[in-house]
Structure 1
Amino acid sequence: MSRNIVIVGGGAAGYFAAANMDGLPAGVSVTILEKSNKTLSKVKVSGGGRCNVTTSTDQVGALVKHYPRGEKQLRNLFKAFGPEQVRAWFEQRGVALKTEPDGRVFPASNDSQTIIDCLRNEAQRLGVKVQYGAAVQAIEKVGAQYELLLANGEKLMADYLLLATGGHPKAAAYSWLTDLGLEIEAPLPSLFTFNIPDFPLVSLSGTAVPNAEVKIAGTKLSHDGPLLITHWGISGPAVLKLSAYAARELAGKDYQFQVLVKWDASWNEDLIRNWVADNRSSQAKKKISNSPLKPLTQRLWAALLEMAGVDGEMRWADLPKKMANKLINSMVSMDLTVKGKTTFKEEFVTAGGVKCGEVDFKTMQSRKFEHLYIAGELLDVDGVTGGYNFQNAWSGGYVAARDIVSKCQG
């Protein structure tokens, strides 16, 4: 008996599922429906065109901490198919991988096309068909099957259906899923940089510090890590991670809020106050401008002095208490006014989507609809930068594919 497996979405999750449909009985077809004219477009541009495939973090407890949403549900998924299995999967198919010092894993070729070619070759070997310009407008359950209505008026029937369309910033984009009966968590942007109009440090664009702490004023929300000064505000992993974990709170503030920057996460006010006091006695005759505290660069130190009203030619012995207090504050708690956000490169990530409770993460099958599966960023799951969003996509796609194959074999 012929049966149809339909995958909606030709991105990372959908394509990886298709590439893992080996072992299907004769007469079972697999078709990817892609609304645009190309598949794996996000894989192509990710990591600056290199594709951050996954992470070297294999311990599940540590791995799930990199997901602001979905941490609990992903435990079972990653136990079934985690980063170690992803790396092995690609390497077994001839893709050499390399791990960078920060734990990110890339193809040794430094070219995302290597990953794309591997996935396409594997899907082609398995006889997977790809239909382009196939935007799904509606899904209806008809008996044991699913009827899909495409934007061009075409209707398709599916015995097994995997939804892997990725995230979308507008709630209206999920209407075809709510019409089916799935519950949606309102979509919001995640992983963005902070815009700071009239930024006092704009002249230092390109300056980075290795481990700053960034905190949303008036909350307990903070993150530390590398921070980059840009011509529009601040960016870098510390900011991006904070934007992900605080995505809903910041949306509620319409992206207008105060942020406090500590230029080194290990500092505290007492430590810096003692350092200043020590310099006033032991470095009394030295120019203050010649004594930046690491990891501050000379230029950043000069800018902090200027903001505190300290003349660079001033000696430590002559530093007034009022200026010293301003300087200390600018080092451990610089108050900046954020007005808006900017998408980080091409890596737009959405918080929100199909609620996690709708899916059994051991199989990725819908709890309401038999033979309907959901994987990837279409779910209310999102990770920080470092290969975590692709890991979720590969894992979900793989587990869904193997469950479908198992059911077809049975």
Structure 2
Amino acid sequence: MNVLISGAGIGGLALAHWLGRHGIQATVVERAPALRSGGQAIDIRGAARTVVDRMGILDAIRARHTGTHGIVYVDRAGAPVARMSGDDFGDSGGVVAEIEILRGDLVRIMRDAAPAAEFLFDDHITALHDGLEGVTATFHRAQPRMFDVVVGADGLRSGVRRLTFGGDRETVRDLGMYGSFFAARTSLDLEGWEMMYNLPAGNGVGGRVLLLYPVGRDGEVRAMFSWHSPDLGHDRRDTATQKALVAEVFAGAGWQIPHLIEQMWPADDFYFNRSGATRLDRWSQGRVTLLGDAAFAGSIGMGTSMALVGAYVLAGELATAPDPATAFSGYESGMHDFVTRNLKRPPGGDSGFAPASRAGIWLRNQVIRTMTKLPGKSAMTGNLQASANAITLKDYPMTSDQLTTP
């Protein structure tokens, strides 16, 4: 068997690793010219920890931990008004998980864990023809090739999903928020705490949020700007216009925002997106299937973990089933309840993250200050600790526990 994976992100790299462990050849095609090094801090929760432990990379991940141990909510003067520790709801259930790592660091670790895979960078799939003998993939640069299976692990705006299931209009539900982040520096001593500053609706948009992630001891942070708004019809590849939009939305805001906006303009790792949730009745068609956000985007805090678990299950089913259709059926049935549970939005959802009024911000902060002391507190965050562990991983037989180089 040979498998084509579209996307060298978390899910795609994890799948390449597990396919190699099962003796299946993996080819990864990635639109970017190299691994994407930027990105925010991401959590590894529940069953996903078992997956990375079985991959043999848990120690490497812990060595690159951001050191973050909770979140502090601050007012316009930067004074703390509420805080939530990372272990208030269990090691996987809080707003910050016990294992948090920068996406770029995790991608590099996972690339090293998939040495047998073939990589086609600076390229992408332009057409797929599913025939009796396999799927013929046409590429933007490389020559057409046939594969036994094609996996779209290429994110919320998946090209493979568009070719197989239809465009974003049919397969993505808009969640009404914009987000952007980039690397910056601050003179603040965050002491391992994320800091969240909320602003009410203004400048033509809804509730706004600045979140600072500490990623080291020398003042390096990731600055994340988010806000509620109808779709403004932005060009996904026009970075200059996206940066101008962030500056416009947060114009006139105080605290650290002017200093961070200054650093945004020259930032070469700037990322901008419109939030959405995938809406599909199935993840597979013919010899093509989807993984990660391409199949089940829309969770809060579980996207990375679901991708890791999904890669493990999909690879195991491909290795043990007699044909792709049976493997896909096992993959979807094995993941269905886990994904369904983790796609449920917690009470308050995005409105609790970015309240539209000062009164709403004040009320949210009061809830944060008291909720960790209340009985049944886990239900207030959607029982994330239990949901992150709500799958029993099969012990699929491996061809070898040792990775082999090409």
TM-score by length of 2: 0.48
Task: Give 1 or 2 for the bigger CA radius of gyration.
Answer: 1
TM-score by length of 1: 0.48
